[in-house]
Amino acid sequence: MKTPFIGRKNELKALKRIWKKNTSSLIVIKGRRRIGKSRLVEEFASSVTYYVFSGIPPHSGTTAQSQRDEFSSQLRQQMGYPKLQSDDWNALFWMVNEKISSSKKTVILFDEISWIGSKDPDFLGKLKNAWDIYFKKHPRLILILCGSASTWIEKNVLSSTGFLGRISYTLTLEELPLNECIQFWHSKSNHIAAYEKFKMISVTGGVPRYLEELKPDLSAEANIKDLCFLSGGLFVDEFERIFSDLFSKRSLLYKKIVRFIAEGPSDIKTICQQLKISQTGMIGEYLEDLKISGFISRDFTWNIKSGMESKLSKYRLSDNYLRFYLKYIEKRLRQIQQNQLLNITISNLPGWHSMMGMQFE
């Protein structure tokens, strides 16, 4: 059974207003992994013609042609083409265009756009040309570029001269607010104590994919054990999956930065000193990548005399799951993998109550 769609009313309203235009629209949606980007688009497109093309996660054997082959396979399955293969994005985009009706509302989603185009330097240029030559001529078409690699999207799409003036709307999905998080308890919500809900959300944050794993009939304690302390639980390996998918070969340094910031807010100088890395423009770029990806935040101090924001700032971990993982899961991975912590009491974990307070700052 399909999971009920929860929240995002304002985002859906904003997307639906785009239909009031008499021209096609190119939209960008970005945000943290698991935040519900493709699920939002699916809900938005539920009453219109909808096609989705998704890239395959990059690994050592991924090539530009393997991404084109995957796109071709999805093209054949959704649009009724016979078995096909192409080494040219221009040909594939033209085949998509041939199946678009100019009289019917149509949504096309390119999901994980950075994966689709990561191995081909010409991908975005050809997509831009396809938009100009084919896609934008369909007045009832909304083409959505979506991805978790928000930094890649910022650099290669939003800040690209190729897409300048072409994007109608950019949406950054944030975590769900508390009043929407509690809806994941469904009909049980009114019978669950507030503390139980806070306990669960202190681990999941407002991330829809994580909240979907919630079993309303179980206590927060039991849910957290299943997710975090049971071998094979979603949250046991999620940290490695996130950083591998988003940052690939550079994931090691990103993880080092996050682990250090998890100990407490730090300025860039302290981060560099402790990690023994030079304070160059690259560390600033890495921190910005983590901030854009939704894992850390940058807090500026205030100058008391001027009453203005100063240039001094500190970075802090802002993701509930990452904080919980680094504090309670990572150091116990071997025990978890051997199912030795199934009888653990969550509230007795060291620093649990103070950490729970930090999660709702």
Residue range 250-297, pLDDT digits in tens: 899 999 999 999 999 999 999 999 998 888 778 988 999 999 989 999
Neighbour tally for 345: CB within 10 Å: 9
- Cα dihedral sign for 173, 177, 179, 185? positive
Q: How far is CA 154 from CA 197, 286, 293, in A?
A: 35, 14, 11
Q: What is the DSSP string of 140-151?
A: TEEEEEEES-HH
Task: Return the pLDDT at 157.
Answer: 94
pLDDT tens, residue order, the chain (361 aa): 667 899 999 999 999 999 999 999 999 999 999 999 999 999 999 999 999 999 998 888 889 999 999 999 999 999 999 888 899 999 999 999 999 998 999 999 999 999 998 889 999 999 999 999 999 999 999 999 999 888 889 999 999 999 999 999 999 999 999 999 999 999 898 889 999 999 999 999 999 999 999 999 999 999 999 999 999 999 999 999 999 988 888 899 999 999 999 999 999 999 999 998 888 778 988 999 999 989 999 998 776 666 666 678 999 999 999 999 999 999 999 999 999 999 999 989 998 888 877 766 6
Task: Return the pLDDT at 279.
Answer: 81
Task: Return the pLDDT at 265.
Answer: 93
Q: How far is CA 328 from CA 31, 173, 349, 356, in A?
A: 25, 27, 8, 12
Identify the CA nearest to 293 among candidates 250, 335, 336, 341: 250
Plot region of 99 (φ>0 → left; ψ -120 to 50 → alpha; else → beta): alpha
What type of residue sits at position 173? L
Task: Return the pLDDT at 31.
Answer: 92
- Cα dihedral sign for 32, 36, 41, 44? negative
Task: Return the pLDDT at 1.
Answer: 60
178: which strand partners? none
CATH class of the region 177-361: mainly alpha
| DSSP strands (E only) in 208-348 | 296-303, 308-317
Q: What is the DSSP string of 168-195?
A: EEEEEE-PPPHHHHGGGGGGGGGGS-HH
What type of residue sits at position 290? L
3-state secondary structure of 112: coil
All structural domains of the chain with their residue ranges: 9-173, 177-361
CATH class of the region 9-173: alpha beta
Phi, psi at 74, each rounded to 5°: -70, -35
pTM: 0.91
Phi, psi at 288, each rounded to 5°: -65, -40
Distance CA 223, CA 32 (A): 23
